[in-house]
Amino acid sequence: MLQVRDGKLQVLLWQRAREPFLGAWSLPGGYLEPGETLEQSIRHHLAEKVDVRELAHLEQLETLSDPARNPLDRELATAYLGLVPADVDPEVPEDTRRHSVSRLPELAFDHRAIVLAGRDRLRAKLSYTNIGFALAPPVFTLSELREIYVAALGHEVSATNLQRVLLRRGVLEATGEKREPGRAGGRPAALYRFRSRRLEITDQFAVLRPPG
Amino acid sequence: MLQVRDGKLQVLLWQRAREPFLGAWSLPGGYLEPGETLEQSIRHHLAEKVDVRELAHLEQLETLSDPARNPLDRELATAYLGLVPADVDPEVPEDTRRHSVSRLPELAFDHRAIVLAGRDRLRAKLSYTNIGFALAPPVFTLSELREIYVAALGHEVSATNLQRVLLRRGVLEATGEKREPGRAGGRPAALYRFRSRRLEITDQFAVLRPPG
DNA sequence: TAGGTTTACGACTGTGGGGCGAAAACCTCG
DNA sequence: CGAGGTTTTCGCCCCACAGTCGTAAACCTA
């Protein structure tokens, strides 16, 4: 479960309560119950830690099958990527915390690789889909959106380009309102929202398109 | 297992020998053995049907978990996409055949959706990676490569653009040789090969690149 | 040697991302 | 109430690169 907070991309982790890797930080999850789909299982286990209704996007990453990934027992795991908007701040239990993805502690199992794979998937999709809707609040200014992109992508982003690209593709639309001219002075910023809150591919890959 | 043959994108199917879906066409596969990774299991089950050494590329697609996907029993399945170059023509057993992806018969389980997902994954990666190496023979002319792309993508492709794009990206390199001026007359075509035979991303997604 | 066929390659066009600087719209302070 | 500072917005120019087209090259057959 990734989220942008305090200008950093963070991941929700909790401390394992049993062997193997007792006490180590790990991704939330658990065993699949009979009659459940994997997605239902993810939501179900996540609901024990946080408010799942805030989950704006959930997609499957990969199924790990290395026989040695669990030293005690043979175990398969299917990893999912979940995204939560930057403005939600749900309470979490004592054993659960958010960690910056750029400075992860030691993680149990192959969870470090999973987190990095999720980060990379997110970065790629930020460029060619509207997936930003799952990281941004319902309405926002362009500079707020820029900060979210900077945190998630890990490099500078030009506000000018961001606006041009997302508007041209029809990803964003102006609400018509302006942010209350707050504390710091400066021109009041226009408010935008994502036109759709479902994943859509907005940049058909560059080359070899069908003619016409 | 996808392959371009006779100008069409084809998929390897076999007829099920037991319930459920007895007699229906289905994707090759089988149960995971203890100590195996999923990829080893795929190769192992595929080897019973065809020569696995010809498999130029293999990647995981998705894990299916709908409890109703198998009417008789609860069963998870992890789908893989395998690619075979157009020039290999391995013998297959009696119960196994290749079908055009654009005209699939009734398939067992959710296998139809898997085949279409594999096709779509292939089409996307043809545009932004060098994955063509897994569909093309070791050396080829540009028009041969064009036909492969046309079959896989399902629409016309300009040979001029294909050459420019793949050469500029450094995906292709000329062998220096020319095809034997064969039967039909015309200028003899230069031969090319893929510079690498491992999957590489060659088109970093269009937008919001790091500055510099 | 003329005509047909296939391949190769150059020139031109258009789309869209990236950079930059000026203008707009607010604040605060003197 | 105006000057100066800050933040946002917008227009202009550049350029990389995909897409189109037309012509030249290099082979065949008759």
Q: Note the pLDDT of residue A178.
A: 82
Res A66 pLDDT > 80 = yes
Query: What's the pLDDT tens digit per position in B84-134?
Result: 999 998 888 999 999 999 999 999 999 999 999 999 999 999 999 999 999
Is B212 near chain A, with CB under 8 Å?
no
Give one word for B207, left, alpha or beta, with left for phi > 0 and alpha for psi -120 to 50: beta
Give the long-range contacts of residues B115-118, CB within 8 A, separation 24 or more.
B115/B11, B115/B27, B117/B61, B117/B62, B117/B79, B118/B2, B118/B11, B118/B61, B118/B79, B118/B81
Nearest to B169 by CA among A197, A27, A196, A207: A207
Count of residues for chain B? 212
pTM: 0.94
Q: Is strand C within 7 Å of residue A165 (CB)?
A: yes
Whose structure tokens read 């990676």?
B129
Is B156 near chain A, with CB under 8 Å?
yes
Q: What is the mean pLDDT of chain B?
A: 93
A147 CA vs D9 C1’ separation (Å): 17
Measured distance CA(B176)–CA(B181) in Å, rounded: 15
Q: Please answer yes or no on whether A74 and B34 come within 8 Å at the CB atom.
A: yes
Find and give the residue nearest to D10, measured CA to C1': A160
Res B181 pLDDT > 90 = no
Q: Which residue from A minimizes the CA distance to B161?
A: A208
Res A36 pLDDT > 70 = yes
Q: Please answer yes or no on whether A78 and B63 come within 8 Å at the CB atom.
A: yes
B162 CA vs D24 C1’ separation (Å): 20
State the nucleotide closest to A158 in CA–C1' terms. C18
Q: Is strand D within 7 Å of residue B185 (CB)?
A: yes
CB B114 within 8 A of CB B127: no
Chains A and B: how many Cβ contacts under 8 Å? 93
Res B60 pLDDT > 60 = yes
Res B183 pLDDT > 70 = no
Tell me which residues of chain B, numbers 52 to 81, contact chain A at a CB-CB cutoff of 8 Å.
Answer: 60, 62-63, 65-67, 74, 76, 78
A147 CA vs C13 C1’ separation (Å): 37
Res A104 pLDDT > 80 = yes
Of A2-6, A35-39, A68-72, A179-183, where does mean pLDDT reach its minimum? A179-183
Res B56 pLDDT > 60 = yes
Query: Residue B52: pLDDT band by 50, 70, 90 thresholds?
Result: confident
Q: Is strand D within 7 Å of residue B170 (CB)?
A: no
State the nucleotide closest to B185 in CA–C1' terms. D28
For residue B34, cis peptide bond before it (omega within 30 degrees of 0): no
Q: Is strand C within 7 Å of residue B17 (CB)?
A: no
Comparison of pLDDT for A204 and B199, the residue scoring more: B199
